[in-house]
Structure 1
Amino acid sequence: MIKEERHKQIMREINLHNKVLSADLSRLLDVSEDTIRRDFKELIDAGKILKVHGGAISPSFHFPHNMQSEVYALEAKQTIAEKAKKLLKKDITVLIEGGTTIIQLAKAIPKDLRATFFTLSPQVAITLADHEKLDVITIGGKLGKNANILTGASVINQLAEIKVDLCIIGANGLSLADGLTDSDWEIVQVIKAMIRSSQKVAVLSIAEKLNTAQRIKVCDTHALNYLITELPPTDPSLAAYRSNNFELL
């Protein structure tokens, strides 16, 4: 595979999954990790990615409020946000994660909605703070700089003490065979705790992430109540998901 093709594939994986590991890309592209590191350096120098321990992330994932960072599939994520806000009813309690799709939802929430939001993301909390009628509560812990959400034992302990109506999370990988998956161990533990603290769970995912899997399992699909993509529920590519137990929006 020539360098230009590798760079294109690396960018696709980073845009889809926010963070990729050098070892995973080495296996996927069938090249050495040294080759991947050289590719990373060129992409970093071009301002397209950011280096993190063991891999790389998208600038828009690390700095979702930076208007200079282009958000991948922005229009699709805005469509998902418009759908997801229909789940938000008066006086609902919501537990919400972080990420570029979640930021779009936070921006789309009606200004007259009265509700309580718990969030693990400082950036989501700041966005929600623009809504006068929302009570916004942050769950405190260690800030994961690569994902900009709070993780650790203190977060998991606090989550165990609350029960909310709805949990809204993004997807790093989602398939019927592997369920909801992610590549970060600490984030997986936090998302599991979020699910345990919630009556219902909604997953927001662009359609490109469906039928993909990451290293670590969060949960089976039967633990999820809603799947929200930019596609209409009747789209042929969602046929297998329509037969599952969750509702497509």
Structure 2
Amino acid sequence: MLTAERRQYILDILRRDKKVLSSELSTALNVSEDTIRRDLRELAESGLLQRVHGGALLASPAIASYADRQKQAPKEKEAIARAAAKLVCAGQVVILDGGTTTLQVACHLPLDLQATVVTNSPPIAVALADHPYIEVVMLGGQLYKKAIVNVGAATVEALRMIRADLCMLGVCSLHPEIGISVTNLNEAYVKRAMIARAAEVVGLATAAKLDTAASYVVESIHALTYLVTAPTVSDRVLAAYKELGLAIVREEAGD
């Protein structure tokens, strides 16, 4: 089998099973584990998978730029946003993490809602600037241009002054075993601080983000109170998350 054929086989198995083990691939392809590790390393460098101990998992689609991510799964994100917006109650202090899905949540908050939104996302702050009753608290810091969010020590320090009722977390990658992970270390610190400052945490994840992993772990899956995802995600995919105690929220048909 040619190298290209072998690597395509690995990707096909990964898409089917959501993970691959080096030992099993070595046996199935009749090559050494060193060869498999080299294949996995080069596929990871191409952004096609995320290496983990003993094998690999699907890579997060969040490696794309913010502009490109705005074009990904728009209907899913709108459905998630409509369901997530219903979790916000009047008078609450809500942390809205950056991201294209959380931006949709901001756009779907009712015009009569009275609340305070704390965010590190300039696009979210701008989207809420004309909302008549929402007070917006903008977290400062260094602008991480790829995700258009503020990060760094100043952002984390500002979060220490916040006690929020709810945190809406933009999910880069979510996996039952790995937990919440992201592609940028500074983002990981900010998301961890957001989680620590909220009574309840809502993870917002499109289908493509589930069962994937990225380089920097934020927290375990148990940090989430709710997982809001698209109505098209199957119960089979969500079973592992339910078993871990997550409350699954999806938009009901006809909503």
Q: TM-score range by the shorter chain?
A: 0.7 to 0.9
Give 1:185's aligned amino acid.
L
Runs ≥4 residues deviating over 3 A = 26-33, 56-59
**In the alignment, which residue of structure 1 is the partner of 2:34?**
none
**In the alignment, which residue of structure 2 is the partner of 1:74?**
74
Equivalent residues, number: 204
Report how far residue 28 of structure 1 moved: 4.9
Q: Distance in 1 between matches of 2:107 and 2:186?
A: 27
Q: Distance in 1 between matches of 2:169 and 2:143?
A: 17
**In the alignment, which residue of structure 1 is the partner of 2:230?**
230
Q: Distance in 2 between matches of 1:85 and 1:215?
A: 29
Once the two structures are superposed, residues 198-234 of structure 1 have per-residue CA deviations (whole angstroms, 9 ceiling, x without a partner) of 1110000002211111111100011110000003787
Matched, 1:216 2:216: yes
**In the alignment, which residue of structure 2 is the partner of 1:190?**
190
**In the alignment, which residue of structure 1 is the partner of 2:131?**
131
Give 2:64's aligned amino acid.
S
* The structure with more radius of gyration: 2
TM-score (norm 2): 0.73
**Which runs of no fewer than 5 residues in structure 2 stay unpaired?**
16-37, 48-61, 250-255
Give the root-mean-square deviation of aligned CA atoms.
2.8
**In the alignment, which residue of structure 2 is the partner of 1:245?**
245
Report how far residue 102 of structure 1 moved: 0.9
**Which runs of no fewer than 5 residues in structure 1 stay unpaired?**
13-25, 38-55, 65-69
Preserved contact between residue 71 and residue 100 of structure 1 (Cα < 8 Å): no
Specify the SS of the correspondent of 1:95. Answer: strand
Q: Distance in 2 between matches of 1:189 and 1:127?
A: 25
Give 1:200's aligned amino acid.
E
Specify the SS of the correspondent of 1:87. Answer: coil
CA 1:128–1:189 in structure 2 vs 1: closer, same or farther (change >3 Å)? same
**In the alignment, which residue of structure 2 is the partner of 1:143?**
143
CA 1:207–1:57 in structure 2 vs 1: closer, same or farther (change >3 Å)? closer
Q: Distance in 2 between matches of 1:224 and 1:184?
A: 20
CA 1:109–1:128 in structure 2 vs 1: closer, same or farther (change >3 Å)? same
Q: Distance in 2 between matches of 1:80 and 1:236?
A: 19
CA 1:27–1:150 in structure 2 vs 1: closer, same or farther (change >3 Å)? farther
1:48-197 matches, cutoff 5 A: 58-59=64-65, 61-62=66-67, 71-197=71-197
CA 1:189–1:83 in structure 2 vs 1: closer, same or farther (change >3 Å)? same
Report how far residue 63 of structure 1 moved: 7.6
Preserved contact between residue 207 and residue 233 of structure 2 (Cα < 8 Å): no
**In the alignment, which residue of structure 1 is the partner of 2:56?**
none
Structure with greater contact order relative to length (CA < 8 Å, sep ≥ 6)? 2
Give 2:223's aligned amino acid.
A
Specify the SS of the correspondent of 2:107. Answer: helix
Q: Distance in 1 between matches of 2:136 and 2:68?
A: 21
Specify the SS of the correspondent of 1:167. Answer: strand
Report how far residue 130 of structure 1 moved: 2.4
